[in-house]
A = this chain, B = another copy of it.
């Protein structure tokens, strides 16, 4: 996605060979127009599928997931990382390790909002080791829901998550796929290259 890659080149901050900071438009400050374009692009890529539910995880997945949900006319469910007092039982849960934050969270989704009748698309801001997506796949599986695929804003293609998931036959659409962050420079995969 051209607009997204340009934004990453212009505003992305390469902190190390593995860490790209994009908090000026994606995961702290949000560019609403870019999020809308991302939602529309994901809707285009999955136009061949019937989707009844968009599943994401708080917090940075919510904006792109909600625009996708608006475009395709499906509700969005975001997995919570911690339990709240008004959300105490009747939950599907899974464990997700964040290498960036170096912590393991239990994520959970109310059983009210995912069922075997659902065809689910999983959305997240980043795909690196694939931990969050695996947790969301686990939750969808517990619900007996069908997963049509995954939509990712930025995939770190030099890390292993995307490869592992594709090997399992899971469809992944990443709008920007990074080949390398070496030498403080963002290098993208060309479309189709892998």
**A-to-B contact residues, CB < 8 Å:** 15, 19, 21, 23-25, 28-33, 35-36, 58-59, 62-63, 65-67, 69-70, 73-78, 80, 84-87, 100-102, 109-110, 112-113
Contact = CB atoms under 8 A, between A and B. Distances in A.
18 contacts: A21-B86, A24-B112, A24-B113, A25-B75, A28-B87, A28-B113, A29-B76, A29-B77, A30-B62, A30-B65, A30-B75, A30-B76, A32-B67, A32-B69, A58-B58, A59-B59, A59-B80, A63-B76
A25, A29, A70, A84 interface centre (most CB from chain B within 10 Å):
A29
Given A32-B76, A62-B63, A75-B32, A85 B112 contact: no
A109 B110 CA distance: 29
